[in-house]
């Protein structure tokens, strides 16, 4: 298991990409997470990254994200809810 850092397992620099939009799709074997940016002055979303994961890993990812959001809110307060769909 590799340790956290700025390098991939093969030593390459990890690339950070900003996303303020995500679409999620799935089929029987995988979840597709398409990340991108949407701008207020445009109706277009510019997608830049697709992550494909197994359903079991998607469920684990959901739990890890929920745990880390709770930790973040404990330190910094409630996360802004302006993007909630419902």
Residue 82 in domain = no
Within a domain: 13:
no
**Structural domains in the chain (count):** 1
44 within a domain of the structure (yes/no): yes
Q: Is 56 among the domain residues?
A: yes
**CA distance linking residue 56 with residue 80, whole number of Å:** 28
Q: For residue 61, is it within any domain?
A: yes
Q: Which domain holds residue 45?
A: 21-76
| Residue 60 counted as domain residue | yes
Task: Please indicate, yes or no, if residue 8 is contained in any of the structural domains.
Answer: no
pLDDT digits 0-9 by tens, 10-32: 888 888 999 999 999 999 999 99
Report the predicted TM-score, pTM, of the whole model to 2 decimal places: 0.76
pLDDT given for residue 81 in this prediction: 67
Question: Model confidence at 76, in pLDDT bands (50, 70, 90)?
Answer: very high
Backbone phi and psi for residue 41, each to the nearest 5 degrees, phi listed first: -95, 10
């Amino acid at each position: 298991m590799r340790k956290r850092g700025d390098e991939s397992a093969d030593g390459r620099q990890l690339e950070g990409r900003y996303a303020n939009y995500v679409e999620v799709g799935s089929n029987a074997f995988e979840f597709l997470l398409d990340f991108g940016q949407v701008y207020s002055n445009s109706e277009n979303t510019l997608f830049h990254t697709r992550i494909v994961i197994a359903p079991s890993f998607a469920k684990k990812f959901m739990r890890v994200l929920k745990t880390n959001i709770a930790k973040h809110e404990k330190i910094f307060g409630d996360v802004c809810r302006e993007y909630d769909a419902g």
